[in-house]
Amino acid sequence: MHHRTLGRTGIQVSPYALGALMFATSMGNTPEESGRLLHRALDAGINFIDTADAYADSEDVVGRALAGRRDEVVLATKFGRPTGPGVNQQGASRRWIVSAVEASLRRLRTDYIDLYQLHRPDPATDVEETLAALTDLISSGKVRAIGASGSTAASIVDAQWVAERRGLARFHTEQPVYSLLNRGIEREVLPTLQRFGMGTLVWGPLGQGLLTGRVRKDQGNDLKRGGLLRHVSDESRLDVVEKLIPLAAEAGLPLSHLAMAFTVAHPGVTSALIGVRTEQHLDALIDGLDVTLADDVLDRIDEIVPPGADIGQLDQAVQPPPLQDPGLRRRPWASRAVTERKPAA
């Protein structure tokens, strides 16, 4: 397997990374089943494992499974999303970071984390505070590299500038969503990451199941009925899938291989996260590791999904605060209703 350098860290990682959200026992697998999956991935050459403290007991399952093989793995985890009822059991403050990292180290049964990532932007915390706390973790040896997830191009630049001006460690990586259905990061995020030499670990390369070929328009399926993928009801996304399926067939590929090969073909992408629950699913994706798409296939994809375009809305995509809170988009006086108007003269 050909490995890639994670940004400018010098760390070598596989083009596919194993996402461990599915390792949480609440997702249906036993720790033993997840352990076998992890070992199968390692044996196939995947050396990059990504989890998070908010993924229920995923960190604990990963830590147990890595016993005796920790040195083979580039281990990434995340902090920032709520992990308890307390108002301070989340976010990017120094107070929470120093607590969160110790808890993750215990659950992962390791002395250090290769890549420690801010799971979601925290508008309430100054990025200087976050970077200062993470810099101390690097200095202490508990963390080797740091990253973020769900950042805008502007916030990526801001964090880099703050790090340079204050003499702090800078974010080495970013984790955005990217797939055949979600190409929005091609506009600004990916070029910005390339400009700063950052590694990019993308999630959702299979469109949360839509790009497996198992979800078809006007056909009932377990994923749809179970409500696991709310976005499968988005007709615009389903229409695109129906156009991609024959293209994959013409190229002699399963749709999932087309989707994964497209994602890792971008020069700004370091690794793509795969989340699997069964060894069969893992083996099917690993079989496509060596697939390279010809230029004519990539051109056809561009015709179906224009570069930089997002088709519909992915359920878990990060929404900046101004898009969630109407009060951040309106001046205070604009909210006053005009109840009376004088008649025109």
Q: How many residues does the chain have?
A: 345
User: Where along the chain do its domains lie?
Assistant: 4-312
**pLDDT recorded at residue 230:** 54
- The residues, any chain, with a CB within 8 Å of residue 225's CB and separated by 6 or more, are none
Summary count for the chain: helices (H), strands (E)? 12, 10
Which of the pair, 337 or 112, is modelled with greater confidence? 112
Q: Is the pLDDT of residue 313 over 90?
A: no
Determine the average pLDDT of the residues in 111-139: 97
* pLDDT tens, residue by residue, 137-159: 999 999 999 999 999 999 999 99
Determine the average pLDDT of the residues in 254-266: 97
Q: How far apart are the C-alpha atoms of 165 and 168, rounded to whole Å?
A: 8
3-state helix, strand and coil shares in percent for the chain, rounded to the nearest 5: 45, 15, 45
Q: How confident is the prediction for the chain on average, in pLDDT?
A: 92
- Options 55, 112, 116, 178, the catalytic residue: 55
Kindly indicate the confidence band of residue 345, based on its pLDDT and cuts at 50, 70 and 90. Answer: low
Fold exhibited by the domain 4-312: TIM Barrel (3.20.20)
Determine the average pLDDT of the residues in 259-275: 97
**pLDDT recorded at residue 336:** 58
- Tell me the residue type at 180: L
Q: Is the pLDDT of residue 333 over 80?
A: no
What pTM, to 2 d.p., does this model score?
0.91
Provide the sign of the torsion angle of the four alpha carbons 184, 189, 194, 199, taken in this order.
negative
Q: Is the pLDDT of residue 111 over 90?
A: yes
Determine the average pLDDT of the residues in 38-43: 97
Q: Is the pLDDT of residue 343 over 70?
A: no
Determine the average pLDDT of the residues in 102-119: 98
* pLDDT tens, residue by residue, 44-64: 999 999 999 999 999 999 999
**pLDDT recorded at residue 306:** 97
Name the residue among 71, 15, 57 with its Cα closest to residue 6.
15
Name the residue among 178, 169, 152 with its Cα closest to residue 267.
178
> Would you say 168 and 194 are in contact if contact means Cβ atoms under 8 Å apart?
no
- The residues, any chain, with a CB within 8 Å of residue 167's CB and separated by 6 or more, are none
**pLDDT recorded at residue 229:** 52
**pLDDT recorded at residue 234:** 77
Task: Give catalytic status of residue 55 as yes or no.
Answer: yes
**pLDDT recorded at residue 228:** 45
* pLDDT tens, residue by residue, 65-93: 999 999 999 999 999 999 999 999 999 99
**pLDDT recorded at residue 332:** 78
β-strand partners of 274 = 18
β-strand partners of 75 = 49
- Maximum Cα–Cα distance for the chain, whole Å? 86
* pLDDT tens, residue by residue, 205-241: 999 889 998 877 776 554 544 444 555 667 899 999 9
> Would you say 66 and 41 are in contact if contact means Cβ atoms under 8 Å apart?
no
